Amino acid sequence: MAYGQTGTGKTYTVGRLGKDDPSERGIMVRALEHILSSMSFETDRVAISYLQLYLESVQDLLDPEKTNIPIVEDAKTGEISLPGASIVEIKDLEHVFHLLQIGEANRHAANTKMNTESSRSHAILIIHLQRSSRIKEENSSLSNDTHDIFPDDLPLVLKSKLLIVDLAGSERIDKSGSEGHMIEEAKFINLSLTSLGKCINALAENSPHIPTRDSKLTRILRDSFGGTARTSLVVTIGPSSRHYSETSSTIMFGQRAMKVVNTIKLKEEVDYETLYKKVEREVDQLTSEMERQQKLMKNEKMQLDKKLKESEGSFHDLRMTSNIRIENLEKEKCQLESAVKTLMRDLEEERGQNNLLSEQIAELEKLVNENKQQQLENLSRMKIFTDTTKEHEKEMEELLRQLQEERRCSSSLKDRMSVLQQELCDAQSSTQLQESMAHELEKKLTKVTEEFTSQVQSLKEKISELISEKEVIYEELKSTQEKVQQEMLHRQGLEDQILRLKWSTSDICAEESKTSYGMVRSGSGLGNAAFVSKSGKIREALSGQRGTISKIFEEVGLPNVLALLKSEDLDVQIHAVKVVANLAAEDINQERIVEEGGLDALLSLLETSENTTIHRVTAGAVANLAMNGSNQGVIMNKGGARLLANVASKTEDPQTLRLVAGAIANLCGNEKLHLMLKRDGGIKALLGMVRSGHAEVIAQIARGIANFAKCESRVISQGQLNFPFVPQMFHSCFFSGELLQLQLETFSLVYSTAKC
């Protein structure tokens, strides 16, 4: 942590990149360089978060869209975390340079008299370190008791966190020359540094209470300067004697910080998730291996069955062929035996007839020789048949021998299958053992999950309590708004009474009749300024209100104010219309309001809203816009007179009727719009509002008739008026009774004025 006055070199010492010159590198780059050089990517993981505390709001420098990041404290362990902050894993030094350059580009800085690049926020670099380890390692720091609790190969995760803080410099406004928004920045900087000093003082004095919740900076750094951490403090001072008091207070801060004693503890966690994944992976491997063995055994069995069937088929074919051959040979043998018997019988007959046929001896001898020759041939044939039979017998023996070999192979395969079945049983038993271990792990995980669920439930209860507190605060706010609204109504009633008193003086009425062009602007900021009292107090109040509205307009902007006219909240709509009405009272704002679509939004409210307050305030805003001649034609073209006439026919509220009559009276001052006013019912509505009997409403009606008469007189002087046109203008407005008499008198006044 770097602490000191602004401009003394804190950012130079801590956050300088030194990309080209390693000797110029700051503590952030040097620390990350050392960590990367000594880490192993197989077991280690390094990630960083880069944040800034600006105007008491935690912002992400790596992702500028993430602002107002919450600070969460673990109720069980007390550990501080920042959910939502970017955590980027790094692999090399170039990646570090890139991330730090992004963070420095997004960090707030400004030019002051004491520093051309003064940091306007506290920068916090958080380095997350994680190393996977096992208890059975020689360098493990766990005690012997831990070996009794956990298995020898249980995976552990060693986690550490390094915070490098570049504090914004303390400054005095008279020396730094801060102005405007920079003063607010300096206030928040000095506030967080003061809170840090209070915490250091309390720790140095061993106070029972450490005010870490006074600032978000002290909440984030609570573990660093008062927890289980090793803390280093860099104190920077300036050489100028002009800053003697700042240098002295900085050194005293460092001396107090040296008295703080931290207790360093080692935090190790059992990586149950990794262990569960490993066991699950081993179970999957064994299951797949068992399925593979079963599939191989099945394939081998199918192949052996197929070979056995083929051997049986071939043996059956050979047997059938041999039987057929044997039958054929037996048939041939029978035929030969019958032939031999026939020959022997013929020989005996010839021998019996030898004496009788002596002359035929030679022939008989010849026949005998032939018979002998045939017998020899028959004998040779018999020998051939015998040899063939022996060959067939040999083939049968060979087939029998092959069949015996096949049977021996089948028996060996059966033995092998029994062995494989035994191995399968062993694998199933080991799988059951692993499943039991996995079941135990699941029980442990279930227990951890239940604890986590209980923690989540407690958090939900806290959230519900916060929501109930929020509802109570909202109810209080709503009651306060109602009280403010009642006060505003009371104030408006008082202002109406003042206006009635002012109207009772004939001198002011005479003076105001000469300047009856504009609309009366009431205390709420709506209406025409022609009938406002010339009292100094009221003018000061109006000028103060206009100044306030102008200030709001400059800070919020006209588009944002007009966007509020479409809000679903009725109170927001009313206040937005009031602001637009006050802005429309100034000539410089009227053109912008029309260009930005303010007139369309106001007319839409007149048409769609049913609220009397909305009608009253919106009619006042339209009346203010109608004071400008260029806006009058736009209002008429968009149906403004018709909408005002509809509002007048629906309401009995005298204030609403007064503002509607004032708006129509302003439109009567333009002779080009008289036909449109008659067509849209504007003049009829103006005269019809006499029914209210309210003095201010009748005053606005008279002002409208006067404006109309002036325009007609102007046209007469130019020789363009058609006198029958005036009765036609008011013909559709006539009713019966007292209103008819009043309208006839009004018409007579207008007609005589036009003649004059």
Q: pLDDT tens digits for 592-611? A: 888 888 888 888 888 888 88
pLDDT of residue 127: 94
Cα–Cα dist 224/257, whole Å: 12
Of the pLDDT bands very low, low, confident and very high (cuts 50, 70, 90), residue 735 is very low
Domain segments of the chain: what residues? Answer: 2-177+233-247+265-270, 336-489, 515-755
Q: Which residue has the higher pLDDT, 534 or 83?
A: 83
11 assigned binding-site residue: yes
Residue 185, pLDDT > 50, answer yes
Cα–Cα dist 181/54, whole Å: 12
Pairing of strands 72-73, 57-60: unpaired
Over the chain, what is the mean pLDDT?
76
pLDDT of residue 731: 43
> Measuring CA to CA, which residue among 725, 647, 634, 715 is closest to residue 681?
647
Residue 516, pLDDT > 50, answer no
Of the pLDDT bands very low, low, confident and very high (cuts 50, 70, 90), residue 51 is very high
Residue 180, pLDDT > 50, answer yes
pLDDT of residue 52: 92
Q: Which residue has the higher pLDDT, 44 or 524?
A: 44
pLDDT of residue 608: 84
pLDDT of residue 158: 83
> Measuring CA to CA, which residue among 148, 140, 151, 142 is closest to residue 444?
151
Residue 629, pLDDT > 50, answer yes
Cα–Cα dist 515/669, whole Å: 13
Of the pLDDT bands very low, low, confident and very high (cuts 50, 70, 90), residue 512 is very low
pLDDT of residue 50: 93
Residue 446, pLDDT > 90, answer no
Asked if 662 and 700 touch (Cβ cutoff 8 Å), the reply is: yes
pLDDT of residue 526: 36
Asked if 384 and 376 touch (Cβ cutoff 8 Å), the reply is: no
Residue 299, pLDDT > 50, answer yes
DSSP conformation class of 564: G
Domain 515-755 has CATH 1.10.10.10: no
Residue 23, pLDDT > 80, answer yes
Residue 745, pLDDT > 60, answer no
Amino acid at 573: Q
- The DSSP secondary structure of 258-269, one letter per residue, reads HT--PPP---EE
Residues 6+ apart with CB under 8 A from 348: none
**Angle made by CA atoms 536, 539, 544, in degrees to the nearest 5:** 125
Structure tokens at 125: 């670099």
pLDDT of residue 444: 77
8 assigned binding-site residue: yes
pLDDT of residue 481: 81
pLDDT of residue 151: 52
Q: pLDDT tens digits for 188-235? A: 888 888 888 888 888 888 888 888 888 888 888 887 876 678 889 999
Cα–Cα dist 625/590, whole Å: 6
Amino acid at 680: D
Per-residue pLDDT, averaged over 714-723, amounts to 52
Q: pLDDT tens digits for 303-316? A: 888 888 888 888 88
Cα–Cα dist 602/604, whole Å: 5
Residue 738, pLDDT > 70, answer no
Q: What is the pTM of this model?
A: 0.39
pLDDT of residue 436: 77
Cα–Cα dist 29/26, whole Å: 6
Cα–Cα dist 466/649, whole Å: 49
Per-residue pLDDT, averaged over 58-84, amounts to 86
Per-residue pLDDT, averaged over 230-245, amounts to 88
pLDDT of residue 177: 62
pLDDT of residue 474: 80
How far, CA to CA in Å, does 297 sit from each of 308, 425, 427, 704? 16, 14, 15, 107
pLDDT of residue 355: 61
Amino acid at 456: V
Residue 6, pLDDT > 70, answer yes
Cα–Cα dist 163/126, whole Å: 5
Structure tokens at 712: 């007609």
Amino acid at 488: M
- The DSSP secondary structure of 142-167, one letter per residue, reads --HHHHHHS-TT-EEEEEEEEEEEEP
Q: pLDDT tens digits for 423-436? A: 777 776 777 777 77
State the number of CA atoms in the 13 A half-sphere of 434 facing the CB: 18
Q: Of the ranges 47-56, 273-282, 337-346, 528-537, which one carries the lowest mean pLDDT score?
A: 528-537
Cα–Cα dist 440/335, whole Å: 88
How far, CA to CA in Å, does 463 sit from each of 35, 80, 146, 456? 40, 18, 38, 10
Amino acid at 556: V
Of the pLDDT bands very low, low, confident and very high (cuts 50, 70, 90), residue 26 is very high
Of the pLDDT bands very low, low, confident and very high (cuts 50, 70, 90), residue 89 is very high
Residue 363, pLDDT > 80, answer no
The beta-strand segments (E) located in 423-526 are 520-521
Q: Which residue has the higher pLDDT, 413 or 624?
A: 624
Cα–Cα dist 60/574, whole Å: 38
* Rounded percentage of the chain residues whose pLDDT exceeds 90: 8
Per-residue pLDDT, averaged over 8-32, amounts to 89
Per-residue pLDDT, averaged over 173-198, amounts to 78
Mean pLDDT comparison of 20-34, 515-529, 556-570, highest-scoring range = 20-34
Residue 162, pLDDT > 90, answer yes
> Measuring CA to CA, which residue among 323, 286, 45 is closest to residue 159?
45
> 299 in helix, strand or coil?
helix
pLDDT of residue 411: 74
9 assigned binding-site residue: yes
pLDDT of residue 31: 94
Residue 498, pLDDT > 60, answer no
> Measuring CA to CA, which residue among 538, 625, 539 is closest to residue 581?
625
Q: Which residue has the higher pLDDT, 424 or 751?
A: 424
7 assigned binding-site residue: yes
Cα–Cα dist 91/44, whole Å: 11
Amino acid at 29: V
Per-residue pLDDT, averaged over 229-257, amounts to 88
Cα–Cα dist 588/244, whole Å: 53
Per-residue 3-state assignment (H helix, E strand, C coil) for 668-725: HCCHHHHHHHHHCCHHHHHHHHHHHCCHHHHHHHHHHHHHHHHHHHHHHHCCCCCCCH
Cα–Cα dist 35/71, whole Å: 27
Per-residue pLDDT, averaged over 514-520, amounts to 35
> Can you give the length of the chain in residues?
756
Give the residues across from 50 on adjacent strands.
Answer: 125
Pairing of strands 234-236, 2-4: parallel
Of the pLDDT bands very low, low, confident and very high (cuts 50, 70, 90), residue 241 is confident
DSSP conformation class of 271: -
pLDDT of residue 723: 38
> Measuring CA to CA, which residue among 224, 162, 177, 193 is closest to residue 56?
193
Residue 555, pLDDT > 70, answer no
Of the pLDDT bands very low, low, confident and very high (cuts 50, 70, 90), residue 491 is low
515 assigned binding-site residue: no
Class for the domain spanning 2-177+233-247+265-270: alpha beta
2-177+233-247+265-270 against 515-755: fold identical = no
Pairing of strands 57-60, 44-54: antiparallel
Structure tokens at 98: 């890139």
Residue 366, pLDDT > 60, answer yes
> Cα torsion for 202, 205, 207, 210, to the nearest 10°?
20
Residue 538, pLDDT > 70, answer no
Per-residue pLDDT, averaged over 368-379, amounts to 71
